[in-house]
Structure 1
Amino acid sequence: MDFKEVLDKERATRKFTDQRVSEKVIREILTDAQRSPSLLNSQPWRVYVAMGKAVKNIRADFKELIEKGEQPREDFAALMKVEWDTFPSQNMSTMSDTLNYFLRGEMTQFDEAQVNLFNAPVLVFLTIPKKSPAWSVYDLGTFSQTLMLSAVDHGLCTMPAHAIVKFPDVIRKYMDIPDDEAIGMGIGLGYKDKRASINGYRSKRVPLDKIVKFAKE
């Protein structure tokens, strides 16, 4: 697939079908992601793939905790203090407004998608050691993006989301993830439900000149 075509198709999918994803394809995607750049070749990432019953168990436990009103307790909260600057805050506010308009006020679709972990048949959990420099977070980001672009090239859709990693104790209950690794990113993989209106939404990006400055002299 041409790179621009891959880039154009790479977008958040908020509802997947139940169609099974081949383990062979997942291995090919992860092999591509393994080629991501890394500080001093440290390759701090580790990958844990949940399929079948493991996904169903994680989804059920997440849903139960959410319905009980449990607050997120993701591993990265202990590594990074989230304090957004004005510029990203404005961008997030714009997304909220445009998404609400796109769904014609039916924001329950958005909430339900997160509670159900987007109905993803595959959940990929990415970790780094808890004893990691900030550069390892960057490395995890490059790995994630390469993984998602490769997934699109293999005919799959993706959904990276905080909702997938907000209860790490539940994830560890079903996945053999050591306590000294921080579960930093969760990505849903699968095939897009073309009937779901929420999958038609596409967030906008700010104009290039708003983020770029060239120094020529």
Structure 2
Amino acid sequence: MDFKDVLASEHATRKFTDQRVSEKTVIKVIEEAQRTPSLLNSQPWRIYVAEGEVAKAIRKDHEEKALGHEEPHEDFASLLKVEWDIFPSKNMATMSETLDYFLRGESDTFDQAQVKLFNAPVIVFLTIPKKSPAWSIFDLGAFSQTLMLAANNRGLSTMPAQAFVKYPDVIRKYLDIPEDESIGIGIGLGYPNKKATINNYKSKRVPLDEVLKIKKDI
């Protein structure tokens, strides 16, 4: 696929179909993501893939906890408890407003999608050692983006979400993730449900001149 098409096709898929994803394709996607650069070639990430009955079990247990209003306790919890600066706060507020308008009375589908973990048939969980510098989080983000672009290039849709990692005990129940690793992010892979309105929403990007500053002369 042309790189411009890969970029254009990348957006959050909030409801997947039950269509099976080839394990061979998933492995190829992760193999390509391994080309991601990292600080001093540390490659701090580890990859754990849930598919088939394991993915279904994780989704089911997550839904029970979410509907039971259990408080999230992410491994990255301390990083999530921050006061956002004005600029990103404004962008988040804009997305919330445009999403509500787009769904027009179906806004509960957004919450339902998270509760059901987007019906993702494949969930890729990414970790870094708990003994890691802050830079490893940047490396993990770079790996995540490379993985998603590689997946899109191979015809898969993606959904990176904090919802996947709200309950690390559920994940560790089914996957052999050591306690000395922090579960940083989960990414759903699969094929989009074309009947789901929520999949047609695409958030807008801030105009380039608001984020880019180029200076040539002193």
The aligned residue for residue 122 of structure 2 is: 122
* Residue matched to 1:189: 189
Matches within 5 A, 1:138-157: 138-157=138-157
The DSSP-based 3-state class of the residue aligned with 1:149 is helix
Instruction: Tell me the distance in 1 between the aligned counterparts of 2:80 and 2:5.
Output: 34
Q: Normalised by the size of structure 1, how large is the TM-score?
A: 0.98
Question: Which residue pairs with 1:43 in the alignment?
Answer: 43
Please show how residues 41-120 of structure 1 align to structure 2 within 5 Å.
41-79=41-79, 81-120=81-120
**Counterparts of 1:149 and 1:67 in 2: how far apart (Å)?**
32
Aligned length: 217
Q: List alignment gaps of at least 5 residues for structure 1.
A: none
Distance 2:27 2:82 in 1: 33
Measure how far apart 1:56 and its partner are. 1.0
Alpha-carbon distance, 1:215 to partner: 1.3
Amino acid at match of 2:169: D
Letter in 2 for 1:117: L
Summarize deviations over 1:166-216 as a string: whole Å, max 9, x none: 100110000000000000010000001111110000000110000011111
**How far apart are residue 81 of structure 1 and its match?**
4.2
Cα distance in structure 1, aligned partners of 2:78 and 2:111:
25
Query: SS of the residue aligned with 2:215?
Result: coil
Residue type of the alignment partner of 2:27 = R
The CA distance in 2 between the partners of 1:134 and 1:124, in whole Å, is 22
The code of the aligned residue for 2:160 comes to P
Deviation at 1:155, TM superposition (A): 0.4
Letter of the 2:12 counterpart: A
Segments of structure 2 that go 5 or more residues without pairing to the other structure are none
Same amino acid, percent of matched pairs: 68
Root mean square deviation, CA, Å: 0.9
